[in-house]
């Protein structure tokens, strides 16, 4: 069966959505392909969430709502149980009353142009589209259930969604992923209301092209947003029979796997969005992996799907809330195809992203040199200075960062990552200038010159730098070489500059472990390693690092002027171990 035929069958299977597994009108072969155990877990999880909503009175009067997405998710969870005959809340009066409250709240939250406000985003078409991700499937279930008691709810929900559709047909977006979120919601609306304008708008966005680079990354290089893009493109492909979109999703999901840690966390250091400074959970990708595993009969994606089912947060992230999607796309309930084991060992180099991921059993590492240059701290640009992460089971080095006092520029950020067999090279060159008087023909008596950025990019001033000669050029060159030997890593750091520049290596270990053979400081989370080897232990797992070096103790405010100008810092939570020296600096340490 080709992908196009599969999509047609998957879409037709929606006719059976509201029926319980046991009562589906399918032949014995089709019934045998249903994962009844997963269905029961999803139903139990959804009912448990509904019970929580009812008993804890989480649904508040409309004036109390400040998170519209939560309203839509709550509505969908309630609707899934209300319309499913196997649910203990099937046609429950208590649930129906909550649905009435929620749909009234949605109408009150909606602006005249069909949009909603979300946080600081006023009259936002993309945020409106995120709501429809849940509301459209809920509307489809309520329509098929066709209960007389929900007739008014359905009318109000139709009013909300048709008005929202007007906003999506006309409104704009902010970021690359918003195009596909909006398009997916328009595809959902089309299945409900058959307005051809929805299809025309979808094609306008899709005609821009869906960019996926050779590394399998969407433009934002963000795990958080790639799950949004993957699910949105999958939805469009499923509902509108656009099989080519599934090829893109499949490549992205395969790429995403290599950022997975043993505990279900995803490394995000390379992201261009806000998740570059926090970890994400793989469980959030479950629907995408399951859909593609079934659609493509892909053994690797199937194995990842099974892996996700074993993570600690699977109940919270999937079983407690995803029933609505399984009822909306019943093919998700098909049993998974055969699969093998995921690789115990790999080295995966992403040349465009400038990152390598290494796995040796329970030991994993990340080496990163792909910040967007010149460094600008802004949404949409990669600026995380982390260049190395390392894990051995429960023992986790969250990050390694290198900082210098060179003209208060702070963290080192490599100009790329080079690979030669099992050796990796990071390099940065920084220059700092002094400025001569302006040429005579560029001077003015008032002393009023153009506000401009210094030629070395360090600061701004009314000095007309562009027209000034530079002198006394100062240079700092940093080279970091990382070599891997069967899961152990040797790191050599060299910093060449004028004598006496402070160099600080910051190693941040996850909170909750124990550091030994280190020296404490006045800050309970900061430690120093003067010599020998430090040991970090979490559970029964350990990381040993050293030898240490300690030539200065200036370990505060090492972020640099980029942050300190605004009294800010990106120092992460955890236990911080510092190794320090002065230029000319050369030191080799091992992680094992």
Residue 19 has pLDDT above 60, yes or no: no
Which tokens is 513 given? 């472990």
**% of the chain at pLDDT higher than 90:** 88
Q: Give 248's Cβ-side CA count (13 Å radius).
A: 25
265: Cα separation from own chain's centroid: 10
> How many other C-beta atoms are found inside a 10 Å radius of the C-beta of residue 263?
15
From residue 120, alpha-carbon distances to 67, 116, 185, 381 in Å are 11, 11, 22, 21
Report CA-CA distances (Å) from 129 to 133, 138, 281.
Answer: 7, 14, 23
pLDDT digits (tens, 9 = 90+) for 112-149: 999 999 988 999 999 999 999 999 999 999 999 999 99
3-state class (DSSP) for residue 243: coil
Q: What pLDDT was estimated at residue 334?
A: 97
For the segment 313-323, the average pLDDT, to the nearest whole number, is: 98
- The confidence band for 63, taking pLDDT boundaries of 50, 70 and 90, is very low
Q: Sorting pLDDT into bands at 50, 70 and 90, what band is 566? A: confident
Q: Which fold has domain 345-591?
A: Beta-galactosidase; Chain A, domain 5 (2.70.98)
- pLDDT class for 7, splitting at 50, 70, 90? low
Question: What was the pLDDT predicted at 199?
Answer: 99
- pLDDT recorded at residue 568: 82
> Which residues belong to CATH 2.70.98 in the chain?
345-591
| Residue 77 exposed, middle or buried by CB count within 10 Å (0-12, 13-18, 19+) | buried
The backbone torsions φ and ψ at residue 419, rounded to the nearest 5 degrees and listed phi first, read -120, 135
CB neighbours (10 Å) of residue 169?
19
What is the DSSP code (8-state) at residue 187?
Answer: H
Q: Which two tokens stand for residue 433?
A: 């200038």
Please determine, for residue 331, whether its predicted confidence score (pLDDT) is greater than 70: yes
Q: Does domain 3-333 have CATH number 1.50.10.100?
A: yes
Helix axes 93-109, 151-170, angle to 10 degrees: 30
Q: Residue 519's beta-bridge partner residues?
A: 528
Q: What is the pLDDT of residues 215-232, one digit of tens each?
A: 999 999 999 999 999 999
Q: What is the pLDDT of residue 65?
A: 57
CATH 1.50.10.100 maps onto the chain at 3-333
Q: How many residues does the chain have?
A: 592
Total-model pTM:
0.92
Burial pattern 487-505, b for ≥16 Cβ within 10 A else e, equals bbbebebbbebeeebbbbb
Query: What is the C-alpha separation between 583 and 563, in angstroms, rounded?
Result: 23
**Please, which pLDDT band fits residue 362 given cuts at 50, 70 and 90?**
very high
Task: Give the mean pLDDT of 232-237.
Answer: 98
Question: CB under 8 Å to 209, separation ≥6 — which residues?
Answer: none
Rounded Cα distance, 461 and 450, in Å = 8
CA distance linking residue 356 with residue 280, whole number of Å: 18
């Amino acid at each position: 069966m080709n992908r196009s035929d599969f999509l047609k069958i998957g879409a037709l299977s929606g006719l059976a959505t509201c029926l319980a597994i046991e009562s589906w009108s399918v032949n014995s072969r089709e019934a045998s392909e249903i994962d009844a155990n997963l269905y029961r877990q999803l139903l139990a999880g959804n009912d448990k969430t509904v019970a929580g909503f009812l008993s804890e009175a989480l649904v508040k009067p409309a004036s109390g709502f400040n998170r519209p997405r939560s309203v839509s998710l709550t509505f969908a969870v309630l609707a899934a149980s209300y319309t499913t005959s196997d649910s203990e809340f099937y046609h429950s009066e208590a649930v129906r009353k909550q649905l009435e409250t929620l749909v009234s709240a949605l109408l009150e939250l909606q602006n005249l142009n069909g949009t909603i406000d979300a946080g600081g985003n006023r009259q936002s078409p993309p945020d409106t589209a995120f709501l429809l991700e849940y509301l459209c499937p809920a509307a489809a279930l309520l329509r098929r259930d066709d209960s007389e008691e929900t007739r008014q709810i359905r009318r109000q929900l139709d009013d909300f969604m048709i008005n929202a559709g007007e906003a999506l047909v006309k409104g704009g977006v902010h970021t690359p992923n918003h195009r596909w979120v909006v398009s997916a919601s328009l595809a959902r609306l089309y299945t409900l209301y058959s307005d051809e304008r929805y299809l025309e708008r979808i094609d306008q966005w899709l005609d821009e092209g869906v960019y996926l680079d050779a590394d399998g990354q969407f433009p934002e290089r963000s795990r958080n947003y790639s799950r949004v893009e993957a699910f949105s493109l999958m939805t469009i492909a499923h509902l509108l029979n656009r099989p080519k979109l599934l090829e893109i999703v499949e490549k992205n999901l395969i790429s995403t796997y290599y950022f997975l840690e043993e505990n279900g966390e995803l490394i995000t250091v390379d992201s261009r969005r806000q998740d570059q400074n926090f970890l994400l959970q793989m469980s959030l990708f479950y629907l995408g992996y399951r859909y593609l595993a079934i659609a493509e009969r892909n053994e690797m994606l199937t194995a990842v799907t099974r892996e996700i089912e074993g993570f600690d947060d699977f109940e919270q992230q999937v079983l407690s809330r995803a029933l609505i999607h399984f009822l909306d796309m019943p093919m998700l309930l098909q049993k998974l195809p055969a699969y093998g084991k995921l690789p115990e060992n790999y080295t995966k180099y992403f040349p465009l992203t400038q990152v390598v991921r290494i796995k040796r059993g329970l030991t994993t590492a990340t080496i990163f040199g792909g910040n967007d240059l010149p460094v600008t701290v802004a949404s949409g640009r990669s600026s995380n200075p982390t260049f190395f992460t390392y894990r051995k089971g429960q023992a986790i080095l969250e990050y390694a960062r290198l900082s210098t006092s060179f003209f208060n520029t702070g963290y080192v950020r490599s100009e790329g990552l080079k690979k030669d067999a099992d050796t990796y090279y990071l390099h940065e060159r920084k220059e700092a200038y002094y400025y001569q008087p302006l040429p005579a023909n560029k001077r003015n008596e008032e002393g009023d010159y153009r506000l401009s950025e210094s030629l070395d990019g360090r600061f701004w001033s009314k000095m007309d730098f562009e027209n000034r000669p530079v002198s006394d050029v100062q240079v700092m060159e940093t080279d970091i070489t990382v070599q891997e030997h069967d899961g152990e890593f040797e790191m050599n750091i060299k910093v060449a500059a004028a004598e006496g520049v402070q160099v600080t290596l910051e190693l941040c270990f996850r909170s909750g472990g124990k550091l030994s053979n280190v020296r404490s400081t006045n800050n309970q989370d900061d430690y120093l390693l003067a010599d020998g080897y430090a040991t970090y232990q979490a559970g029964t797992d350990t990381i040993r690092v050293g030898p240490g070096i300690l030539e200065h103790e200036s370990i505060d405010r090492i972020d640099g002027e980029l942050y300190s100008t605004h009294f800010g810092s990106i120092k992460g939570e955890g236990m911080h171990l510092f190794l320090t020296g002065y230029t000319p600096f050369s030191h080799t340490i091992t992680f094992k």
